[in-house]
Amino acid sequence: MTAEKRKLDSNSLPEEDNTVIREAKAELVKCGWRDEMLEIAKEAMASSSLEMTLEELIHILTKEGLESVPSSVKESILKTMRNADGN
């Protein structure tokens, strides 16, 4: 996805959703999750005996990423979403 496309997608979201996304990103960076995903990607590419496709890398990162988000971050994101929704 190009930077222009990402900007367009971000601008088409309601402000509450942008707030949730920004706060979720900040939480994931703060807890080291983003750096962990970067290391997993580097290790996966280095250990691949053949050239790894983007789809294969995305599959690995999606699986590992979903499993490794700390529960405290999940709770924080859910709280932010509820507050943005007004509940």
Residues 33, 53: Cα–Cα separation, whole Å? 23
**Cα distances (angstroms) measured from residue 64 to each of 7, 26, 40, 77:** 27, 19, 8, 19
In contact, 32 and 72? CB cutoff 8 Å = no
Residue 79, SS3 per DSSP: helix
* Position with higher pLDDT, 76 vs 39: 39
* Position with higher pLDDT, 62 vs 21: 62
Report pTM.
0.69
Q: What is the pLDDT of residue 80?
A: 84
Residue extents of the structural domains in the chain: 14-85
Does the structure show a pLDDT above 60 at 10?
Answer: no
The CATH superfamily holding the domain 14-85 is ENY2/SUS1 (1.10.246.140)
